[in-house]
Amino acid sequence: MAIIPGSGDRVETGTALLPEAPPGAVDTAAPASKPHGLLRRGWEVFAENKLALVSLGVIVFMVLFCFVGPHIYHTDQVHTNLSQTLCPPGGQHLLGCDNLGYDQVGRLMVGGQTSLEVGVAAAIVAVLIGTLYGAFSGFIGGPVDSFLMRIVDAGLSIPYIMVIVILSVVFRPSPLVMIFIIAVFYWLGVARLVRGETLSLRTREYVQAVKVVGGGSTRAIVRHIVPNAIGTIIVQGTFAVADSIIILAGLGFLGLGVQAPATDWGNMLSGGLQYIQSGTNYWWLIYPAGLAIIITCIAFNFIGDALRDAFETRLQRR
Amino acid sequence: MTKFLIRRTLQAILVLFLVTVFTLALVHLFPGGPIRSLLGPRATAQQVAHYNQLYGFDQPFYIQYFKWVGQILHGNLGFSAKLNQSVTSLIAQDLPKTVILVVLGTVVSLVFGIPLGLYQAVRRYTAGDYVLTGVSFLGYATPTFFVGLLLVEWFSIDVHLFPPFAPQGQTVGSILSQPRALILPVLAYSFVLYALWSRYMRSSVMDNLVQDYVRTARAKGASERRVLWVHIFRNSLVAIVTLLGLSLPTLVAGAIFIEVVFNYPGMGLAFYNAALQVDYQVLLGFTLIATLATIVGNLLADIGYAVLDPRVRYN
């Protein structure tokens, strides 16, 4: 599971140590004078990307399936029904039943609600905290910035999975608690990224001008730094959703996530593990939930990629 | 360079201090405190108070902290009451087995990731590149444990090729004596890492392809093969080495999930069992060790990067 905050292309190799970008590259990032025009142009670039549009469609479908689905496809997801334990797919139960007799399609819907809700909410919380922290730290600079960033380093040095496991042992995990457990770890990477962005933004004339006319640092951060770093923030937020869903699935799989009768996609898989290791082919216990996770996360990753292209192209066109 | 080393080491020490404070603070988060979680819900308040005093949990945080650090410096990471074993001996017993899994998995993923990433960069925007990009997107979006589940489903249920469980046994020797059982855990472990390395290698090579030194090398008449292997490949490898040093949290996470899926008797499985039983001494000791390893890994990566890339030093 590649959840270094910002993995893959998003991996930072000791950002603090990398040589500064050439000045020419920075200069192209001009201030966002007309946000509406920018958003529209960004959307145009985004819309040209077929993969991103398909991904957007997939997400919309998933949301409808999970939240509207249960009103059309009625199943009992609260009471176990041991008479239909592990029944194979077909007829009444399109994807069969799990070890407690829950209908798997209905389970996918209920589990998907948790996965999507927690994934999106955790991403929003993490990105909000990380953005404010990173922008503040980078804007203040000096020893305060240094110290604040060491706190981030310290947090990132503790293997996140261990912190998250310990936290979910400590707190009884409800969806609300899960949001904060995931965000507690994830904001660190965002903070580091936004701080880097802030460092280059705060030297611009229009930010300096705020000081000259007597505006406070809060105003400079909220009105000028954050809006100009919005591209980075939104892209990071999109990846954060995918990563949060995977982290939640991991916890659910370990049995440390939301508690029964509630479930999430990862939790559904932990039942599957026991049964396939017994040597019988209960494929319907693992494919549906696993594919739901993969498809949703790929869609969010594609959207994140397309958004990055959209924002970067916007910068290049100037 | 000396200045850089000193500054970077001082930073690492500050991080170390913060991490130990965080970790000890985690203990106090346990419902009712660490002693309550050890004695269980039926213990009386007197019993809890007695043990709190015995273990020094009634003292101010900073005194607890210094005592705890003192113990760690003497090699005492605590004692697991549930396993009746010291945490140090538990680590000595399980760490080598986890190292086998992590090293094998990392090597396999590098062996595939580096050449394929290079290939993708050279043949970028071709069918081959798109297919491999698809594979690495799959790697990002697939939870490690699901890769493990799929491999079990395909190769031990559908086709009876490999056992669905990892090698069992107390010693390293017993693990290595069952290579067939090692194959699925190692493959599952390496898939996600493969996505990481290949993706990174691809963008690193693509960055290097447009650098001035590449143009210079070509202008001097170096063959395309020489430019690729002597100049670009070596420079991109530097980035991978650094990334390796920074990836320890990812490696640890992978190990925990793979060990749970395959019941592999390493540190990850022990950590998971400790979590289920709220064995806080084990949780704390293991977290501390993994964190220390991460900090050292980061430090080495940064120093290595500075040694290999002179541009960093004069910053």
ipTM associated with this complex: 0.84
From A8-12, A296-300, B160-164, the region with the lowest mean pLDDT: A8-12
- Provide the pLDDT confidence category of residue B108 given band limits of 50, 70 and 90: very high
Interface test with B, best of A157, A186, A298 (most B CBs within 10 A): A157
Residue B22 to residues A122, A154, B65, B257, B287, Cα–Cα distance (Å) = 22, 9, 10, 24, 11
- SS3 for A136-163 is HHHHHCHHHHHHHHHHHHHHHHCCHHHH
According to DSSP, the β-strands at B79-80 and B85-86 are antiparallel
List the single residue in B146, B286, B312 with the smallest CB-CB distance to A19. B312
Q: Would you call B283 an interface residue with chain A, using a CB distance cutoff of 8 Å?
A: yes
Q: Which of A10-14, B91-95, B269-273 has the lowest mean pLDDT?
A: A10-14
**What is the C-alpha to C-alpha distance for residues B234 and B240, in angstroms, rounded to an integer?**
10
Instruction: Tell me the C-alpha distance between B72 and B69, whole Å.
Output: 5
* Residue in the block written with tokens 């493990």: B148
Q: Which two tokens stand for residue B16?
A: 């170390």
Torsion sign across C-alpha atoms A123, A124, A130, A134: positive
pLDDT of residue A38: 64
Q: For the segment B218-268, what is each residue's pLDDT rounded down to a tens digit?
A: 888 888 888 888 888 888 888 788 788 778 888 888 889 999 888 888 889
Q: Which of A163, A165, A273 sits opposite B261 (nearest CB)?
A: A273
> Inter-chain contact A158–B146, Cβ cutoff 8 Å?
no
With cut-offs at 50, 70 and 90, classify the pLDDT of residue A3.
very low
- pLDDT category at A14 given cuts 50, 70, 90 is very low
Choose the weakest-confidence range: A54-58, A264-268, B160-164: B160-164
Which residue from B152, B287, B302 is facing A166, i.e. has the nearest CB?
Answer: B287
pLDDT of residue A299 exceeding 50, the answer is yes
Q: How far are the Cα atoms of A97, A115, B10, B140, B161 from residue A272, in angstroms, in the given order?
A: 11, 18, 48, 22, 20
Q: Is the pLDDT of residue A15 over 70?
A: no
Q: Pick from A64, A100, A121: which is nearest to A248 by CA?
A: A121
